[in-house]
Amino acid sequence: MRVLVLGGGGREHAIVAKLLESPNVDDVLAAPGNGGTASIAVNVKLDVEDGAAVAAFAKAEGVGLVVIGPEAPLVAGVADDVRAAGIPAFGPGAAGARIEGSKRFAKELMFRHNIPTGFSEAFTDEEAALEYLQEVSAPIVVKADGLAAGKGVTVAMDVHTAREAIRECFAGRFGDAGSTVVIEEYLRGPECSLLAFTDGETVVPMAPAQDHKRALDGDEGPNTGGMGVYSPVPIVTDEEYAAMMAAMVHAVEGMRSEGIDYRGVLYGGFILTDEGPKLLEFNARFGDPETQVILPRLDGDLAEILLATAERRLADVSLAWRDEWAVSVVLASGGYPGDYETGKPVNGIADAESLTDVTVYHAGTRLAEDGSLLTAGGRVLNVTALGPDFASARERAYEAVGRIGWDGMFFRTDIGARAQRGRAAWEA
Ligand code: GLY
């Protein structure tokens, strides 16, 4: 089978690499891919948000499965167009992708189906939003309703910051995405990402993972797309895991009861509060960088799992998780998530990968014409290491990081450190 993967980040590199382990995959096309996928797949140019173009390309190229990585093509309904062309698509159509594409829709779905989450109100009028802010005060979270390239969420520790965030949304900073503003409860506790494969009936959880969203050590600095991650998550109790799974199943059942055909990944972003796990958000796709620690631990045929999901026969597939730990450290361009320079030569990847159980996934790289590897984004590489225990996986990941370099590279030195100290580290 030929597979087309849409997207060009570390998540997509990890998906492509895992797909190629399948005996049923002949080759993979990546659109647009990156410097990492270029060496194992064929990178192609394609407007990934144009469903008709993706479907026509897939048909012309004899593609047997289209895997949609990022949220934008999902929200644009690319899966619907691909399915309409008779090609299996992994990823929900536009109706299901609203669970990520509209924060308001997601919250209202949670309320309708009694899924634990924080309080929330949506506003299309600035004055009403500001009045509500006076009532609920801070800390509080302000979100642009629609997709805003990861920049539409403000965690406001004071009313002034929240007020500014509301004003910016209504002033058009995020275009249409900010014309509805969602104000929601600030939830306290450790985060945990639980992703599941679902074909709308069967829900198969993946191993839990924990991302580190802040740019700097000690969870300081601005929010990013994610600076490092590990799996499994040792601080999650059995009761919390059961509650998270129940929430995921309720969401899938809830969507089904509302006539939504959901086939792909449902990503639950939870906060482990004192009152139990509560949903911060749902995403309609694999997490990034969560995928870079989850897929290396997957003991199963990813191509078969994704195809079965797309064809609504997930119940027939079996998979397991390796009894190993995975830690991934994101290497970023100096200045990220603000302005940063690109085009810097990257050194040391082969040396890093010569270490046992180390894989370097490319997130923002490109191959120059002379074959050298250059930085091409904010998050550049994800260095993932597996180990028999948490400490050895961390040690290996950081040993590998020490072998890589470019002008301006930065990374967090404490990925997984807090979890190694136990739950009390969040209460301190
Ligand atoms: N790890 C955050 C995300 O994928 O949205």
* Cα angle 314, 116, 272; round to 5: 90
Pocket test for ligand 1, best of 15, 211, 361 (most atoms within 8 A of CB): 211
**Which pLDDT tens digit goes with each residue over 186-199?**
999 999 999 999 99
Q: Work out the pLDDT band at 223, boundaries 50, 70, 90.
A: confident
**Which pLDDT tens digit goes with each residue over 366-413?**
999 999 999 999 999 999 999 999 999 999 999 999 999 999 999 999
Phi/psi of residue 95, nearest 5 degrees: -65, -45
The pTM of the full predicted model, rounded to 2 decimals, is 0.97
Helices (H), 140-223: 159-170
The C-alpha atoms of residue 249 and residue 253 are separated, in whole angstroms, by: 6
Distance 336 CA to ligand 1 centre (A): 16
Contact residues of ligand 1, CB 6 A cut-off? 211, 226, 283, 287-288, 290
Query: What 3-state class would DSSP assign to 302?
Result: helix
Closest CA to 226 of 279, 182, 271, 291: 291
Tokens standing for residue 64: 């047997």
- What would the DSSP string read from start to end of 89-103? EES--HHHHHHHH-H
Can you tell me which atom of ligand 1 is nearest the CA of 225? 2
Closest CA to 5 of 52, 73, 60: 73
Do 235 and 422 form a contact (C-beta atoms < 8 A)?
yes
User: Which domains does the chain show, CATH number per domain?
Assistant: 2-93 (3.40.50.20), 125-179 (3.30.1490.20), 191-427 (3.30.470.20)
Closest CA to 302 of 23, 8, 13: 23
**Which pLDDT tens digit goes with each residue over 256-266?**
999 999 999 99
